[in-house]
Amino acid sequence: MSNAIIWVIMIPLLGSLISIIWSRYASLIAIISNLVALVASTAVLMRVYQSGPFLHELGGWHAGLGISLRADALSSILLVMSMTVISAATFYASAYFTDAAKRARFWPLWLMLTVALNALLLSGDLFNLYVTLELLGLSAVALTALSDNRAALQAAIRYLSIGLLGSLVFLAGVALVYAGYGTLDLATLASLVQANPLSQVAFGLMTAGLLIKSALFPLHFWLPSAHASAPAPVSAALSALVVKVAVYILLRLWVDVFDLVLTLSSTMLLGILGAIAVIWGSWQALQAQRLKLMAAYSTVAQIGYLFIFLPLIAALPEGALQDAAFTALLLMALTHGFAKSAFFLSAGVIQQYCGHDRIAELGGTARALPLTIFVISLSGVALIGLPPSGSFLGKWYLISSSFQAGQWWWIPVVLVGSVLATAYVFRILGHAFGPGESIGRVLNRGREEIPALILALFATLILGFGSAELWDLVAQHAEAAGN
Amino acid sequence: MIEILWFMVDVMLVLLLLALAWTTCSSRDVMRAVTLFIAMGLLLAIIWARLKAPDLALAEAIIGAGISGALLLSAIRDYPSTAIAVDRSPLMHSIINTFTMALTIVMSWAAWHGLNMSDGVRLSEQVASQLAVSGVSNPVTAVLLNFRAYDTLLELAVVLTAVLTVLILNDKRADSTAPGPLLQGMTRWLVPLLVVTSGYLLWVGAHAPGGAFQAGAMLAAAMILLQLAYPSIHQGFNLYLLKILLVIGIFIFVLTGLWMMSVNDDFLAFSPAHAGTLILVIETAATISIAAALTLAYIGGRPTGWEADNHGNRAMTEKGGAE
Amino acid sequence: MIDSLAVLAVFFGLFFFLSGSIGLLRLPDVFSRLHALAKADNIGLAFVALGVILLEPGLLNDIKVVIIWLLVMAASAVSSHLVARRALRKERDDD
Amino acid sequence: MISTQLLYALAGVGLFAIGLRATLLHHLLLPRLLALNVCGAGVFLIFIAIAYAGIEGMPDPVPHALVLTGIVVAVSATAMALALGRRLENIKSDAIKSEATKSETLKSAAVKPEAMNDE
C-alpha cells in the first residue's frame, strides 16, 4: 500500500481546497480529512515497521531526475505524532472558534499547515525541502496573524521576515550543493558527499537556515511572542510540530547525507548553544507572567535538550550506544510534542473561560476547570521528566550516554533544567489550586478538554511504558542507514 | 576578440546590478527604494536573457519587476511616512558589515570550488534523454510540469496560502480616484492584446519559452490595468466563481496526479502517449488560478461580500471581521 | 553592407538614448525631464528597432519588432501624461 | 579572465551579501522586504550561473525550473508580508483614532465596556 504515503499529503490538500469553496462545512471537512490522513499515516508507519523504509518515486522518474518521497523509521514516527497532535487540535479548534467568520478563515490555512508538515516529513529532495519549508513558514505565519490584534501581527511580521531569511540561507546551501554534486536527491547525495570545503560551507549554510527555523538559542527571539499571541490550537501546532520538524531536517541531513562533513567541535558548539537554551529558556519561563508565554519559553528550553544530544551521538561509537542516544532523542521530541500541545490547548481553555491567562490571577481555576488543570499537571509531569513520562527515559539516557561519552558537563545542565521546569510547573499549579473566585460554577467543555487529555496521556503513559517498540524500530533504521 | 567584448558586457551588467542592489538597500526613501528595485528587476531580466534563460527573463520581467513592483507601489500608501531610518548602534553596524564580508568571502570560495568540482553536466543530460518521453519539447516546462511536477504543485499551494492570508487580513483597498480618459483609452486597446498574448504564452510554453506562470502573471497584469482604469469594474463579479477560479489550478493538478497514480501506480506519472495534453490542461488551470491569486493580492483584500456565505442563507450577516 | 548600416542605425539610436539620459540629469523640473525622456527615448528606440530589423531578416520578426516599438511608444506617452498630471496636481496642492 | 560562470556566481554571492546585510540592518517592513527580495535574487543568480554552459552550449534546465519556482514563491511571500504590514498599520491608526474619540467622550458618555478579547 505504498500509496498511503500520497494520501497522507493529498487528503488534507483536497480538504483545504474544498473548505475554501464550502466554508459552511469547513469544520466537518477538516475533521474528516485529518482523521483519514491519521489513518493513512499509521498505515505508513505499519508498513515501515514490517518491511523497512520504502521509497515512492513521484512521476515514475528516478535517479535524481524526479522527486522521491521517503518513509523510514524517523520520519514515519514523527508523521504519526504530528497527525495525532493535528487531529486532536482539529477537534479542539472546532469548538474553540465561536465567531463564524474567523472559523471560516481558520480551516483552509490549518489544513495547508498539515499538508506542509506531512510533505516536509516525507520529502527526499533538497529543493523540495525548501518549498515545503516555505509553505510551512507561510501557513504558520498566516495562522499566527489570525488573532488579529497588534501583538499577534507584530509577532507574525517578525516571524515571517526571519523565516524567509532562514529559507533563503537554506536555499543558498542547496545551490552550492547542486553546484558541486549536480544532484538534489538525498539518497544519491549520501553516496557522493565527501568532506571537502564546498560540503562544509554548504552544510554550514543549511544548518544556519534550519537553526533559525528551529529557534535554537541565539536565533530564538521570534518564537516567544509568536507562540504566545497565536490562537491556542495554532500555538499548540507551532510549538509541538513546526519547530521540531526543522530539527528533524537537520538530523536527517546530518545522519544520512553529511555525516562525513560534521566535526566533533561543530556538534559541541550546537550542544553548548542547546545547553544555554535549556538554562535561559527555563529561567525565562519561570519569570513569564502569562501561561502561553511560559509555554513558549519552555519550548525554547526543550529544543535545547534536543541539541544537547548531537555531540553525544557524534562522540559515541557506532552501534548499540549510539542507537540508544538516537532513540532517546526521538523519545524526547515525541514526548515534548504531545505534552506541549496538551499544555497549549488547556491554556486556551483557561484563556477563553477566565478571560485572561495571567498566572498570578489563576486562583480558583482548579475548582472551576478541574479537567483542564489535571491535563496541565499531566503535561507538566512530561515537561519535567518525572518517571511515567517518555522524557524521563529520554533524560535518563541523556545522562547515561553523557557518562559513556565522557562529556560529563551536560549532566548539571539537565539537572538544573529539570529543577527550573519543576519550579515553573508548580508555580502554575500553586496559583491554580490557590484561593480565588475567578468563575463561580464548575465548567466542563468536553469537546475542548478531551483532546488535550488524550495528548497528555500519550506523553506520559503510552510513551513511558510503550516505548519498547521504538527501540527496535530505530535499530532497524540504523541497519538500513548502515548498509 | 568576441570573448573580450562579451566579458566587457558581462562586467558592465554585473557592476550595474550590484550598484542598483546597493542603492536599493541603502536608500533613505521608500519610494526611491521601490523604483530602484523595479529597475533592478528589469536589469535582472536582461541578465537572465544573457545567461540563456529566456523563460526566466519573461518571468522576472512580468513577476519580479511587474507584479512585485505594482504590489510594492500600491503598498507604500499604507504607511504614514516614507522615510527609512536605520536606528542601529555603530557597533551593530560594524558587526553586521564584518559578518557579511566574511560570509561573502567564504561563499565565493565555496562557489569557486563547486564550479571546479563538477564537470558541468549535472542533470542536463538526464533531462535531454527523457525529454522525448515527457510530452513537451521545452526542457524547462518538461522539468516544471513532468519531472518535478510535485514541486510545482506545492508552489501553487504556496501562492494559494499567500492569497488566502491577504484575503483574511484586509478588506479591499478603497477605489482610487477616477483616472483620466487617456488611461481608459489605452486600457481599452491594451487589455485584449494582453489577454491574447497570455493565451499565446500559455500555448507556446510546450515548445518555446513561456508557460503557466508567465501567462498567469500577464493575465493578472491585464486585470490590474483594468482595475486601475475602471475602478468599479469588479462590482458585478460572482465571488463564488472567483473562489472556484482560485482553487481550480491545484484541484486539477491533484486530480490528474491521482488519476495517473491509479493508471500507472506512481503519483503524477504521466503516460507518455497523452502527457502533452494532460500538461496543457494542468497549465491552463494553473494560469487561471495564478491570475486570480495575483489580482486579488493587488486589490489588497476581500472584495465586498466575500465572507457572506453565499449558500442561499442570507441570514448569516457578515459580523464585521475584526472585533 | 546591410550589417554596417544596421550598426550605424543602432549607434544613432544610442546617441538619442544618451541625450535623453543627459536631459534627465541636467534639466531642472519634472515636466522638462518628462519632455526630454519621452521624446529622445522613443526616437532612439525607433533607430535601434530599425537596426534590429536590418540584422534579423524575416517578416515575422520585423512585424514583432514594429509592434514592440508602437507599444513602448503608447506606454511611454500615457505614463508620462499620468506622471505630469499628478505632478501638476501635487504642485497645485502645495501652493 | 575569469569564466562567465564564475563572474555571475560571484555577482550572485555579492547580491546575497548586500541583501543579507540590509535585512539585518533594517527594522521597518518595506526596506527589509526589499532586502529579502535582493537576497533571493542573489541565490537565484548563483543557481543560473551554475546552469550556464557557454554561448553556444545548451544550459542545464533544472536550475531554470527551480528559479522559476523561487520567483513565484518570492512574489507570494512579498504579497503576504505587505498584507500583514497593511493590517498592522490599520490597527495602529484605528487605535490612535479611538484614543482621540475616547478622550473626547470621556467627559460626557460612560466609557464603552472593553470588548472581550476573543482570541
Task: Report pLDDT for A9.
Answer: 94
Instruction: Indicate which of A160, A162, A352, A358 best probes the interface with D, i.e. most D CBs within 10 Å of its own CB.
Output: A160
> For residues A121 and A258, which has the higher predicted lDDT (pLDDT)?
A121
Q: Where are the domains of chain C?
A: 2-94
By mean pLDDT, which of A99-108, A136-145, A151-160, A273-282 is the weakest? A99-108
Residues of D in contact with A153 (CB under 8 A): 84, 87-88, 91
pLDDT tier at A122, thresholds 50, 70, 90? very high
* Amino acid letter, A378: L
Q: Where are the domains of chain A?
A: 274-483
CB contact under 8 A, A24 and B311: yes
| B141 and B212 in a common domain | yes
Decide if B312 is inside a domain.
no
pLDDT(A448) > 80: no
- In whole angstroms, what is the distance from residue B129 CA to residue B108 CA? 32
- Residue A358 is given by DSSP the state B
Write phi, then psi, for A358 (nearest 5 degrees).
-70, 130
Instruction: Indicate which of A143, A157, A354 best probes the interface with D, i.e. most D CBs within 10 Å of its own CB.
Output: A157
CATH code where residue D11 lies: 1.10.287.3510
Decide if B317 is inside a domain.
no
Q: Does C78 touch chain B (CB under 8 A)?
A: yes
pLDDT(D118) > 60: no
- In whole angstroms, what is the distance from residue B6 CA to residue D25 CA? 36
HSE, CB side, 13 Å, CA atoms: give it for residue A162.
Answer: 22
State what percent of residues in chain B have pLDDT above 70.
94
B46-84 pLDDT, tens digit per residue, is 999 999 999 999 999 999 888 999 999 989 988 888 888
CB contact under 8 A, B71 and D69: no
C-alpha cell at B237: 463579479
A283-336 pLDDT, tens digit per residue, is 999 999 999 999 999 999 999 999 999 998 888 887 788 888 888 999 999 999
Chain mean pLDDT for chain B:
87
C-alpha cell at A377: 499537571
- In whole angstroms, what is the distance from residue C81 CA to residue A83 CA? 58
Task: Report pLDDT for D110.
Answer: 56
DSSP assignment of B70-111, as one string? HHHHHHHTTSS--B------HHHHHHHHHHHHHHHHHHHHHH
State mean pLDDT over A388-410: 87
Which residue's C-alpha cell is 533504521?
Answer: A477
pLDDT tier at A461, thresholds 50, 70, 90? confident
* Alpha helices for B118-180 (secondary structure H): 124-130, 139-142, 149-169
- In whole angstroms, what is the distance from residue B302 CA to residue A117 CA? 28
| B111 and B76 in a common domain | no
Could you tell me which chain B residue has the CA closest to the CA of D83?
Answer: B166
HSE, CB side, 13 Å, CA atoms: give it for residue C29.
Answer: 5
pLDDT tier at B310, thresholds 50, 70, 90? very low
ipTM tops the 0.90 cut: yes
Closest CA to A329 of A385, A377, A391: A391
Task: Report pLDDT for B316.
Answer: 40
pLDDT(B8) > 90: yes
A249-282 pLDDT, tens digit per residue, is 999 998 888 888 888 888 899 999 999 999 999 9
D38-66 pLDDT, tens digit per residue, is 999 999 999 999 999 888 888 999 999 99
Distance from CA of A6 to the nearest CA of B (A): 7
Give the structural domain span for D69: 4-101
Task: Report pLDDT for A441.
Answer: 65
Contact call for A and B: 3+ CB–CB distances under 8 Å: yes
Helix, strand, coil share of chain C (percent; to 5): 90, 0, 10
pLDDT(A471) > 80: no
Task: Report pLDDT for B256.
Answer: 93
pLDDT(B313) > 50: no
- In whole angstroms, what is the distance from residue B311 CA to residue B43 CA? 48
Q: How many domains does chain B have?
A: 3
Give the structural domain span for B62: 1-87
Decide if B33 is inside a domain.
yes
State what percent of residues in chain A have pLDDT above 90.
48
C-alpha cell at A347: 491554556
Task: Report pLDDT for B123.
Answer: 83
State mean pLDDT over B133-150: 90
Task: Report pLDDT for A370.
Answer: 85
Q: Does A305 touch chain B (CB under 8 A)?
A: no
State the pTM of this model.
0.93
Task: Report pLDDT for A364.
Answer: 80
Task: Report pLDDT for B150.
Answer: 93
Instruction: Indicate which of B121, B148, B264, B279 best probes the interface with A, i.e. most A CBs within 10 Å of its own CB.
Output: B148
| B99 and B46 in a common domain | no
- Residue B1 is given by DSSP the state -
* Other chains touching D, judged by 3 or more CB pairs under 8 Å: A, B
State mean pLDDT over A9-29: 92
Task: Report pLDDT for A438.
Answer: 58
Decide if D94 is inside a domain.
yes
| B295 and B173 in a common domain | yes
Distance from CA of D104 to the nearest CA of B (A): 22
Residues of D in contact with B85 (CB under 8 A): 28
Q: How many domains does chain D have?
A: 1
pLDDT(B311) > 50: no
- Residue A54 is given by DSSP the state E
* Amino acid letter, C29: D
Say how many Å lie between the first and final Cα of chain A, rounded: 25
Distance from CA of A356 to the nearest CA of B (A): 17
Task: Report pLDDT for D69.
Answer: 95
pLDDT(B215) > 70: yes
Decide if D92 is inside a domain.
yes
By mean pLDDT, which of A396-410, A469-483, B112-126 is the weakest? A469-483
Neighbours of A159 (CB within 10 A): 24
- Exposed (0-12), middle (13-18) or buried (19+): which is B248, by Cβ within 10 Å? middle
Task: Report pLDDT for A481.
Answer: 58
State mean pLDDT over B155-164: 96
Decide if B54 is inside a domain.
yes
Task: Report pLDDT for B309.
Answer: 55
Task: Report pLDDT for D117.
Answer: 42
pLDDT(A375) > 60: yes
pLDDT(B317) > 60: no
Task: Report pLDDT for C8.
Answer: 93
CB contact under 8 A, D30 and B30: yes
CB contact under 8 A, B183 and C78: yes
Task: Report pLDDT for A480.
Answer: 61
Task: Report pLDDT for B166.
Answer: 93
Which residue's C-alpha cell is 499537571?
Answer: A377
State mean pLDDT over A137-156: 93
Task: Report pLDDT for C40.
Answer: 87
Distance from CA of B52 to the nearest CA of D (A): 7
By mean pLDDT, which of B274-278, B307-311, D31-35 is the weakest? B307-311
**Segment B94-103 long-range contacts (CB within 8 Å, at least 24 positions apart):** B96/D21, B96/D24, B96/D25, B97/D21, B99/D24, B100/D17, B100/D18, B100/D20, B100/D21, B100/D24, B101/D17, B103/D17, B103/D20
Task: Report pLDDT for A1.
Answer: 56
Task: Report pLDDT for B320.
Answer: 35
pLDDT(A96) > 90: no
C28-71 pLDDT, tens digit per residue, is 888 888 888 888 888 999 999 999 998 887 888 899 899 999 99
B219-262 pLDDT, tens digit per residue, is 999 999 888 888 877 777 788 899 999 999 999 999 999 999 88
C-alpha cell at A335: 514526548
Q: What is the CA radius of gyration of chain A?
A: 21
- In whole angstroms, what is the distance from residue B298 CA to residue B222 CA? 12
B171: β partners: B302
- Residue A240 is given by DSSP the state I
Which three-class secondary structure string do you get for chain D?
CCCHHHHHHHHHHHHHHHHHHHHHHCCCHHHHHHHHHHHHHHHHHHHHHHHCCCCCCCCCHHHHHHHHHHHHHHHHHHHHHHHHHHHHHHHHHHHHHHHHHHHHHCCCCCCCCCCCCCC
pLDDT(B142) > 70: yes
- Residue B174 is given by DSSP the state P
SS3 A148: coil
pLDDT tier at A478, thresholds 50, 70, 90? low
- In whole angstroms, what is the distance from residue A171 CA to residue A131 CA? 10
